[in-house]
């Protein structure tokens, strides 16, 4: 049997005034996606032929975001926000061929699971209902629409709190703002809804009473976890959703075989991948397209963005953006990896090192206090403390190549464009551009000592006193 045709409508036109932001509410970020991005991810479970996003406030921003994350979705403008019923009506006018099942979702419910969308649609279609509402049982229903059932337990109507009697306000089963409808019945009912309510708007929820009044079957599907149905109106509520989503994500990874020393201080975007036996220590944040290989140790105090970490690698107190850290490589503490940095197997970036567009071969080491910019460092090469890869001449960036097993002494400046050959040595304190393979590069002035300088030039200082005593003791 072929699948029923389906259309998804996402309501994303509202301003979200209580967010007090120039950014539309649905575009606020939460663990790797915007609110709208989370909803569209969950909506994919419906396997719809059409996805329509109703836009309004800051429509251009929302359209641009859709081009990035869901180019197949169709934005439809609701120029005047005249209610949810009006929004769905203009969405269907933009898709005149939409038939079968219409799934309607709010754009600010980031905790909604794909499994719940799939189950709602299945229950709706199997029952042959004209409409099905996703409901949730909550402890505090304040501000939410109530699901009112008849004595037999069937849906009678949905009542917004502002229009509800005290008796209805006592109901704890609430409308999640997520629905499945038969497209033909929905179109028919939308043509009949009125604005006779406290807000003077077209309520989508009125469709259910219209459907029942003419004998069409309607249903209620109760969400397995009321948490999934939570939206947000301000930034405090957004932060609360973030905590819930963080806990869900962390629990999922721990049950998949990842160790977390302190889940309460570990934040992992939903777009991140972590393999078994990885260990995430306290105060870590993993964002974007980051992937962590099996057995790797991350943290403490580490932020990784769009970073690949190989199996068995260790990344300690490090900030990394767009880097690739190879298997069994070590990084940190207090290091900064910038985009284009790639570390080979068992290579090392030590403490207080910054690397940008730098490639380290297998076993190469940059142990400490170094800037590596625009460089290729060969396998098993060693870069001494305090080395600077001087890559910028004030106009252009230049590249430095350090050959296999080369040794660069401490406090050295490599003046790009530069090439240090395989097996070459650079003496500590040198400033060089090119050293052939196997050579020793030295650019050091002869040392001279000026006798009695401190007592003459710094009289009365503790240094002068110490020098005088040392001289007298000889």
Catalytic residues: 368
Is 397 in a helix, a strand, or coil? Answer: strand
Cis peptide before 37 (omega within 30 of 0): no
**Scanning the structure block, which residue is given the tokens 């019945």?**
185
Residues facing residue 321 across a β-bridge: 305
Give the gyration radius of the chain's Cα atoms: 32
Nearest alpha carbon to residue 348 among 325, 371, 321:
325
Asked if 403 and 382 touch (Cβ cutoff 8 Å), the reply is no
The reply to whether omega before 360 is within 30° of 0 (cis) is: no
Alpha carbon 189 to its chain centroid, in Å, reads 40
* CB burial of residue 464 (10 Å; 0-12, 13-18, 19+): middle
Report yes or no: 290 and 306 within 8 Å, Cβ to Cβ.
Answer: yes
* DSSP label of 17: G
Rounded Cα distance, 54 and 289, in Å: 28
35: which 2 tokens? 């609110």
> For the stretch 35-60, what's the b/e string if a residue is b when 16 or more beta carbons lie within 10 angstroms of its beta carbon?
bbbbbbbbbebbebebbbbbbbbbbe
Cβ(324)–Cβ(343) below 8 Å: yes
How many helices and strands, by DSSP H and E, does the chain display? 10, 36
> What sign results for the dihedral spanned by CA atoms 83, 84, 87, 92?
negative
Q: How far is 84 from 453, CA to CA, in rounded Å?
A: 85
**Cα–Cα–Cα angle for 411, 413, 417, rounded to 5 degrees:** 160
- Give 179: exposed, middle or buried? Use CB within 10 Å, 0-12, 13-18, 19+: buried
Distance CA 302, CA 281 (A): 9
Query: How many residues belong to the chain?
Result: 474
String of DSSP letters for 207-231:
HHHHHHHTT--EEEEE-S-GGGG--
């Amino acid at each position: 049997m072929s699948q029923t045709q389906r259309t998804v409508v996402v309501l994303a036109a509202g301003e979200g005034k209580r967010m007090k932001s120039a950014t539309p509410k649905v575009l606020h970020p939460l663990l790797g996606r915007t609110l709208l991005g989370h909803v569209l991810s969950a909506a994919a479970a419906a396997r719809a032929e059409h996805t329509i996003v109703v836009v309004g406030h800051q429509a251009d921003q929302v359209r641009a975001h859709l081009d990035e994350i869901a180019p197949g979705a169709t934005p439809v403008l609701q120029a005047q926000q005249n209610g949810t019923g009006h929004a769905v009506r203009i969405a269907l006018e933009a898709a005149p061929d939409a038939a079968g099942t219409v799934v309607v979702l709010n754009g600010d419910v980031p905790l909604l699971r794909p499994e719940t969308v799939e189950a709602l649609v299945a229950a709706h279609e199997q029952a042959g209902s004209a409409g099905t509402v996703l409901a949730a049982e909550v402890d505090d229903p304040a501000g939410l629409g109530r699901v009112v059932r008849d004595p037999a337990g069937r849906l009678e109507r949905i009542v917004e709190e502002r229009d509800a009697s005290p008796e209805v306000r006592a109901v704890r089963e609430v409308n999640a703002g997520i629905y499945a409808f038969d497209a033909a019945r929905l179109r028919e009912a939308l043509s009949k809804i009125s604005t006779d309510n406290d807000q003077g708007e077209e309520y989508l929820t009125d469709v259910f009473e219209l459907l029942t009044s003419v004998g069409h079957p309607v249903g209620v599907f109760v969400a397995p976890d009321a948490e999934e149905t939570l939206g947000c109106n301000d930034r405090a509520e957004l932060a609360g959703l973030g905590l819930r989503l963080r806990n869900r994500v962390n629990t999922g990874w721990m049950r998949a075989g990842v160790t977390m020393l302190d889940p309460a201080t570990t934040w992992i975007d939903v777009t991140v991948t972590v393999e078994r036996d990885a260990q995430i220590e306290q105060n870590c944040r993993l964002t974007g397209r980051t992937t962590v290989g099996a057995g790797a140790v991350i943290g403490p105090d580490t932020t990784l963005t769009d970073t690949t970490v190989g199996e068995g690698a260790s990344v300690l107190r490090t900030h990394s953006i767009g880097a690739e850290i190879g298997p069994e490589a070590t990084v940190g503490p207090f290091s900064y990896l910038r985009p284009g940095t790639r570390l080979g197997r068992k290579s090392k970036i030590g403490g207080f090192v910054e690397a940008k567009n730098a490639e380290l071969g297998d076993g190469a080491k940059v142990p400490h206090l170094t800037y590596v910019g625009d460089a290729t460092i060969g396998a098993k090469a060693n870069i001494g403390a305090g080395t600077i890869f001087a890559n910028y001449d004030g106009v252009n960036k230049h590249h430095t190549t350090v050959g296999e097993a080369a040794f660069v002494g401490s406090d050295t400046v490599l003046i790009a464009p530069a090439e240090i050959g395989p097996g070459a040595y650079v003496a500590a304190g040198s400033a060089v551009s090119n050293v052939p393979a196997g050579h020793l590069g030295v650019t050091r002035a002869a040392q001279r000592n000026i006798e009695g300088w401190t007592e003459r030039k710094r009289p009365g200082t503790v240094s002068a006193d110490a020098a005088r005593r040392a001289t007298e003791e000889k």
